[in-house]
Amino acid sequence: MGSLGDNLSRMAGGDTNNPLLDPEEFRRQGHMVVDFIADYYKNIEKHPVMSQVEPGYLKTRLPTSAPFYPESIETILSDIENHIVPGITHWQSPNYFGYFPSSGSMAGFLGEMLATGFNVVGFNWMSSPAATELESIVMDWLGEMLKLPKSFLFSGNGGGVLQGTTCEAILCTLVAARDRALRIIGNDNIGKLVVYCSDQTHCAFKKASQIAGIHPNNFRVIPTTLSSSFSMCPKILQKTIIDDVEAKLVPIFLLATIGTTSTSAVDPLIPLCKVAKKYEMWVHVDAAYAGSICICPEFRHFINGVEGANSFSLNAHKWFFTTLDCCCLWVKDPAALTQSLSTDPEYLKNKATESKQVVDYKDWQLALSRRFRSLKLWLVLRSYGVEKLRGFLRSHVKMAKLFQEFVMGDERFEIVVPINFATVCFRIKSNIPLNTERMNGMIRPMVSINEINSKLMDSVNNSGRIYMTHSIVGGIFLLRFAVGASLTEDKHIVEAWNVIKQHADVILNNMNNHNQ
């Protein structure tokens, strides 16, 4: 039996002079972790998709303080299996249909491993030239795949940057638009600035507006309707802007969405950009979800009109097989970002920056530090190629249409809005017989159709067999079935529909029995 020092050295990773990064011990533990992850994916369908734990569960399972002495990787992995995995909602499960996909891939995982292994902090070109230059190249590659106008690419006069999330992309572009306006009207007039979106726009825009100092009363929300599939109306937008201008306010920013969170609605870019141009407003196109599939020629028309926008973003970590986080943002005028976001302290000065021949991405984002995100996106693009990526995306759309056929074939259900991509919005119909009661001389349903659909979603999710999420639009509670997990196949769609039908049968039969 070895000494305490020998045991501590072995458990911490080998040589006590270099306890954290011993190459051979890292190799041994790394193989164990890869095997653990591979086994996780091999057996992922055995886990309930939605975690079944109660709030505070982990505190009862783990010690109240950190260990004083090192613990082995074997012990730690055992605890992950027994305590952490039960508390995970399994986004990579083939039976996950909630929110939007967070699709992974082998290439994405390996790219993330490489980026983490190098662990560079690529805030400017000098800090790691490869990190900067690969990002610029990859962003032009993807921009060309999307057939973005040359003005958005480095090969034109624009450029692309990898942010963490769309929230950051929106805030950066809004700050640029804000400062562009304030340079003309003066900083004292920030209270006059107005921004615009629809009632389907992601809540990230509201948060960004608060952070950017836009007065809450100047956050304009354009109402949408079911009859227009919840897309923003250019005429209502223009009327709203005219009213603001007449009130001596200053319109500065419009956020248009391609694939809204609730229903995958698409805002009409061509007329919206035309309205915004009259008032010299910045237009940002948020295609966080649906932008990825626009690499397919038959879907490219959804971003027609993007040439009239100032910036465009999509999340490669949603539906492009590149692990979180990886938001792709393109801008026509990089100087607008750098004027608002750049810093130039003495300790960051260097000849490369002063030469004006390099990109310093620290000036394109909120934080100084930044990860080597382009490595994983590069691996995804190279490992699968354009045609195979298109095939993956098309297969998800095909599966969503299969699910839609199941819904339409059951007279108890209905599609709420037309399907644009791979998210199906559906519900139990509002015209099914409902339990009634007499109140104040009037007969009314005991349970609303919205409550029935909410009950159906909770019942399905609590089963652990599949996972869906919901939204409420136009007063309608709808179920969202978003196809996009990398492991999902046709058989999972069939099984998901069977699960939904089974739970609907129980809920509706209980209602009928109560009526009798």
User: pLDDT tens across 305-343, in order?
Assistant: 999 999 999 999 999 999 999 999 999 999 999 999 998
| Residue 252 pLDDT exceeds 90 | yes
Lowest mean pLDDT among 117-126, 127-136, 303-312, 432-441: 432-441
Does residue 258 contact residue 283 with C-beta atoms inside 8 Å?
no
Q: Residue range 242-255: average pLDDT? A: 97
Domains of the chain: 23-87 (1.20.1340.10), 388-513 (3.90.1150.10)
pLDDT for res 430 = 80
How does DSSP assign 256-286, residue by residue?
A: EEBS-TTT--B--HHHHHHHHHHTT-EEEEE
Q: Residues, the chain, total?
A: 516
Q: Residue 1: which pLDDT band, with cuts at 50, 70 and 90?
A: very low
Lowest mean pLDDT among 38-42, 119-123, 377-381, 429-433: 429-433
Two tokens, residue 77: 């992995």
Strands, E, within 288-351: which ranges?
Answer: 311-315, 327-331
Q: Residue range 65-72: average pLDDT? A: 93
What contacts 87, CB < 8 A, 6 or more positions away?
51, 53, 57, 58
pLDDT for res 336 = 95
pLDDT for res 509 = 85
pLDDT for res 14 = 47
User: pLDDT tens across 336-370, in order?
Assistant: 999 999 988 888 889 888 898 899 999 999 998 99
pLDDT for res 440 = 59
Maximum distance among all Cα pairs of the chain, rounded to whole angstroms: 86
| Residue 18 pLDDT exceeds 90 | no
User: pLDDT tens across 45-57, in order?
Assistant: 999 999 999 999 9
Lowest mean pLDDT among 129-133, 137-141, 436-440, 455-459: 436-440
pLDDT for res 434 = 57
Does residue 161 contact residue 122 with C-beta atoms inside 8 Å?
no
Q: Residue range 240-269: average pLDDT? A: 97
Two tokens, residue 17: 């002079």
Q: Residue 436: which pLDDT band, with cuts at 50, 70 and 90?
A: low
pLDDT for res 477 = 95
3-state helix/strand/coil string of 203-241: CHHHHHHHHHCCCHHHEEEECCCHHHCCCCCHHHHHHHH
Two tokens, residue 122: 């690529």
Task: Return d(Cα 7, Cα 339) in angstroms, integer.
Answer: 55
pLDDT for res 439 = 54
Report the Cα 490 to chain-centroid distance in Å. Answer: 24
Q: Residue 303: which pLDDT band, with cuts at 50, 70 and 90?
A: very high
For the chain, percent of residues with pLDDT exceeding 70? 92
> Is pLDDT larger for residue 16 or for residue 216?
216
pLDDT for res 238 = 96
- Provide the whole-model pTM: 0.91
Q: What is the mean pLDDT of the chain?
A: 91
| Residue 438 pLDDT exceeds 60 | no
User: pLDDT tens across 460-515, in order?
Assistant: 999 999 999 999 999 999 999 999 999 999 999 999 999 999 999 999 888 766 55
Task: Return d(Cα 181, Cα 405) in angstroms, integer.
Answer: 49
Q: How many Cα neighbours within 13 Å face the side chain of 127?
A: 21
Does residue 303 contact residue 286 with C-beta atoms inside 8 Å?
no
3-state helix/strand/coil string of 424-458: EEEEECCCCCCCEEEECCEEEECCCHHHHHHHHHH
pLDDT for res 444 = 57
Q: Residue 442: which pLDDT band, with cuts at 50, 70 and 90?
A: low
